[in-house]
């Protein structure tokens, strides 16, 4: 070799039109993987954003679920309290009715 490169003006390969097409074709092949890599990078970035959004939505829903569970527990305590009060009142009413029956006899 004479020490010349493809970039030298006097390169015989650059004078041959078939070789020039081959060089252009090789450059096109080089850009294809770069475009594909960029496309892949964009897809990965979109997936990362989607995962981030889903995690935020999950956290929000878990917080809402805890709030609703707290409300449900409070409502259950109220129901238990009202049920106990109803049972107590029922017992008192039955006792009063029983007393009325004894007075009427």
Measure the CA angle with vertex 83, ends 79 and 84; round to 5°: 120
> Domain residues of the chain, as ranges?
13-104
What local confidence, expressed as pLDDT, does residue 32 receive? 78
What predicted TM-score, i.e. pTM, was given to this entire model?
0.53
Instruction: Give the residue-averaged pLDDT of 18-22.
Output: 55
- The span from the CA of 97 to the CA of 84, in Å, is 20
What local confidence, expressed as pLDDT, does residue 104 receive? 77
**26-75 residue pLDDT tens:** 555 566 788 999 999 999 999 999 999 999 999 999 999 999 999 999 99
Quick check: 12 pLDDT over 70? no
What are the φ and ψ backbone dihedral angles of 10, each rounded to 5 degrees?
Answer: -90, 15
| CA 60 from centre of chain | 10
**67-105 residue pLDDT tens:** 999 999 999 999 999 999 999 999 999 999 999 999 876
- The span from the CA of 49 to the CA of 42, in Å, is 11
Run of H or E including 17: helix 17-104
- The span from the CA of 71 to the CA of 22, in Å, is 73
What local confidence, expressed as pLDDT, does residue 53 receive? 98
């Amino acid at each position: 070799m004479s020490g010349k490169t493809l970039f030298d003006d006097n390169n015989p390969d650059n004078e041959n039109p078939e070789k020039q097409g081959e060089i252009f074709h090789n450059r096109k092949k080089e850009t294809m993987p770069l475009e594909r890599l960029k496309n892949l990078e964009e897809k990965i970035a979109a997936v990362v954003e989607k995962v981030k959004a889903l995690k935020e939505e999950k956290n929000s829903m878990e917080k809402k679920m805890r709030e609703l569970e707290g409300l449900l527990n409070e409502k259950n305590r109220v129901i238990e309290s009202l049920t106990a009060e109803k049972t107590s009142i029922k017992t008192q009413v039955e006792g009063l009715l029983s007393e009325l029956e004894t007075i009427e006899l």
